[in-house]
Amino acid sequence: MESNDRAGIEIAQPKTTLERTTVAARCCRALHMTMPLVVDSIDDRVGNLYSGMPDRLYLIGRDGRVVYKGGRGPFGFKPGELEQSIIMHLLDLQTVHGQ
């Protein structure tokens, strides 16, 4: 991508699951990520099922259900909406569990 070129980021498209996992680990280290990162299989099975192209935000509850589904990016990519959904979901969990 042109924006990556300007930032000096050059990563070849992974062709195997190991290559993809290695790139993801590199990204986590570079961004000092503190939350788990899940890597899709090389055939993009999950991305295709969730219509994740070019990008999309989801919040999955502890029960495995979709709590929030954002619009397709780049115009539907709204991190503020996801943040609000996380807060509301956590408040709902507190209410349900009486905390």
pLDDT of 99 strictly over 60: no
Query: Checking DSSP bridges between strand 66-69 and strand 58-60, what pairing results, if any?
Result: antiparallel
Assess whether 18 and 54 both reside in one domain: no
Residue-level pLDDT at 14: 94
- Which of these three, 42, 58, 74, is where a domain ends? 42
How many domains, in total, are found in the chain?
Answer: 2
Mean pLDDT score, 13-26: 93
Assess whether 36 and 69 both reside in one domain: no
Q: How confident is the model at residue 98 (pLDDT cuts 50, 70, 90)?
A: low
Model confidence pLDDT, tens digit, residues 56-96: 888 999 888 999 999 887 788 888 999 999 999 999 888 87
Assess whether 17 and 61 both reside in one domain: no
Assess whether 38 and 54 both reside in one domain: no
pLDDT of 53 strictly over 80: no
| Domain span at 11 | 1-42
